[in-house]
Amino acid sequence: MSTNARMPSRYEGIFTPLVSPMYADETPDLPSLRRLIEYQIEHDVHGLWVLGTSGEFASFTTDERAAMSTTAVDAARRRVPVVVNSSDASTRGAIGHGLAALAAGADAIAATPPYYYPHSQDELLDHYRRIRSAVDLPLFIYNIPQTVKVRVELQTAATLAAEGTVVGIKDSQNDLEWFRQLTSYTYENGILFSAFVGTRCLIDVGMAAGAAGAIPSIANAFPELAVGAYNGWLRRDFARADACARNIMRIEALPLSNPHGSRNAAILGLLKAVLHARGIISSPSLSGPLRSFSVVEREELLERLQAVLQPV
């Protein structure tokens, strides 16, 4: 039998891509980050993904990112793995963030293709190989072409997996055909590889496509739904998995209106509004120029949210 990513691994399950609590001046709120991590672990998430897209990583200074990584590792206390996103606009920058994550005690790092320049696939191969050579930690590909311009093509991901440069991927492009081809390749070639879907609504579907788990932003405010969808599928309790997934879809279907703001701002604003209302984070602020909800908008949003959620 092939020794593929379905073997027991530290890197499987629901890894929450943490939002980054911040003060009104947009500096990191580290005490709130600690409370958020405790909240996640209390709700049985399997790992933490720090300073990703939901974490507004590109809005923080190098020192702030290092401080948040150190805080996350310390707060987790080895109860769950901590993966730190070390992405930057250059390979050298990503290596620097990766070395800071290593010093902080992170379990693994992740990196997108460098953003700004539309790099070739050969350049991406060099990018990931250089990071792995410089930083002695397991490395994940973070494939999110909608924000960094460049997609990690299937052959590139397969090459990096086969040579052992990377141990897994967070694939946020919502292309299940692409994802299925990658998981089939690693399975058939006996490669231990943790492929995560970076989707909120397709956790159970991603598992059917060979995923080791999911890294869904919705888990910040609703970890029980994300974990329920994953555990339901794993235990073949498909009714529960579907019930949790449908609740997530109801949240996604909310008419999120953030006047003059982007869809990303609306989603992050929703998550932070819920966490703030529960007393987990001190402020629902977003980093500029993302537009934060007003107090009235947050109250209306929370009322609509309560009206759509159903028991699972």
Q: Which residue is catalytic, options 11, 39, 142, 230?
A: 142
106-132 mean pLDDT: 97
Per-residue confidence band for 309, with pLDDT thresholds at 50, 70 and 90: confident
Produce one character per residue of 70-92: b if its CB has 16 or more CB atoms within 10 Å, e if not. bbbbebbeeebbbbbbbbbeebe
The answer on pLDDT for 255 being more than 70 is: no
CA angle 195, 143, 81 (to 5 degrees): 50
Structure pTM? Answer: 0.94
The answer on pLDDT for 8 being more than 60 is: no
pLDDT at residue number 260 = 66
The answer on pLDDT for 89 being more than 50 is: yes
Q: Which residue is catalytic, options 11, 128, 170, 185?
A: 170
- DSSP, residue by residue, 63-101: HHHHHHHHHHHHHHTTSS-EEEE---SSHHHHHHHHHHH
pLDDT at residue number 252 = 84
Annotated catalytic residue 170: yes
> Which residue, 192, 125, 188, is CA-closest to 164?
192
Q: Which amino acid is at 193?
A: F
Average pLDDT, the chain: 93
pLDDT at residue number 128 = 98
pLDDT at residue number 2 = 33
Give yes or no for a contact between 106 and 83, defined as CB atoms under 8 angstroms apart.
yes
Give the architecture-level CATH label for domain 13-235. Answer: Alpha-Beta Barrel (3.20)
Q: Which residues contact 178 (CB under 8 A, 6 or more apart)?
A: 154, 171
Annotated catalytic residue 149: no
Q: Which of 89-93, 238-242, 297-301 bottoms out in mean pLDDT, i.e. has the lowest?
A: 297-301
How close are the terminal C-alpha atoms of the chain, in Å?
A: 36
